[in-house]
Amino acid sequence: MCTQFSSCVFGLLWGFPFLIKGEGLHTATAGVLLTVLVLAGAALAQVFGVVSSRWPTVRHRLALGVVVTTMFSWTIVLLWSPHVPLPVLVVHIIVLSAGGPASMLGFEHAREANPPQRAGTASGLVNIGGFSASVVAMLLIGLALQVFGGLGATAYTIAFALQFLLFAVGLRQMVRYGRLVAAVKGRAPQRTLRAIPVGHRR
């Protein structure tokens, strides 16, 4: 949920309007930036794949790092908007592109934290989490743009700031379940981990 939704929302729907109407870029420049989003994501996927396979213990921290970096990047862009320098936007796009590859780490996390007979269910929950959050974020941004559309470029700043609601929920759950999985691993390091009840409270 937390790693994927921002890059998905930006790439699939609201990124192009944000760059054109919010930042005043030409359509060709906006198109190039969205292409950078895809290409950078493909490149980072290779890096994340190598890191995840060679050092599996860093997967959770890597995903957390991507989320925190994405939040920091959005904070800078939204505070600077509507006159964000192009180099800053390029860096922001590259940061966003890490969200897609980082979301794949969730499948490994779910596989390790559940018995084999629940692998399908766990993978399904991981998969639907990111897309569900993306749809919610798209809706929130769209509603905000309708309400604050009269403010011009400022409307995009307000609308995209709503992402932090989802970031807050997702980040809290990432930390919570990350600690829970670590605790279960500590109790049973050599065995297949028992399923973690969804309603578990520490």
State the Cα–Cα distance between residues 116 and 195, nearest whole angstrom.
10
Q: Percent of the chain beyond pLDDT 90?
A: 64
196 lies in a domain? no
Closest of 36, 103, 23, 22 to residue 63, by C-alpha: 103
Task: Note the pTM of the prediction, 2 decimals.
Answer: 0.86
Structurally, the chain folds into a number of domains equal to 1
193 lies in a domain? no
Q: N- to C-terminal Cα distance for the chain? A: 22
State the Cα–Cα distance between residues 73 and 78, nearest whole angstrom.
9
State the Cα–Cα distance between residues 116 and 127, nearest whole angstrom.
17
Q: What are the tokens at 157?
A: 């700043």
Q: What are the tokens at 13?
A: 């729907």
29 lies in a domain? yes
* 8 Å CB contact between 62 and 102: yes
pLDDT of residue 119: 84
Residue 56's CB is within 10 A of a number of other CB atoms, namely 13
Residues 123-176 have pLDDT tens digits of 898 889 889 999 999 999 999 999 999 898 999 999 999 999 999 999 999 888
State the Cα–Cα distance between residues 185 and 3, nearest whole angstrom.
23
Q: Which domain holds residue 61?
A: 5-187
Instruction: CATH number of the domain at 81, please.
Output: 1.20.1250.20
49 lies in a domain? yes
* 8 Å CB contact between 145 and 21: no
* 8 Å CB contact between 74 and 127: no
123 lies in a domain? yes
199 lies in a domain? no
pLDDT for 202 beyond 50: no
130 lies in a domain? yes
197 lies in a domain? no
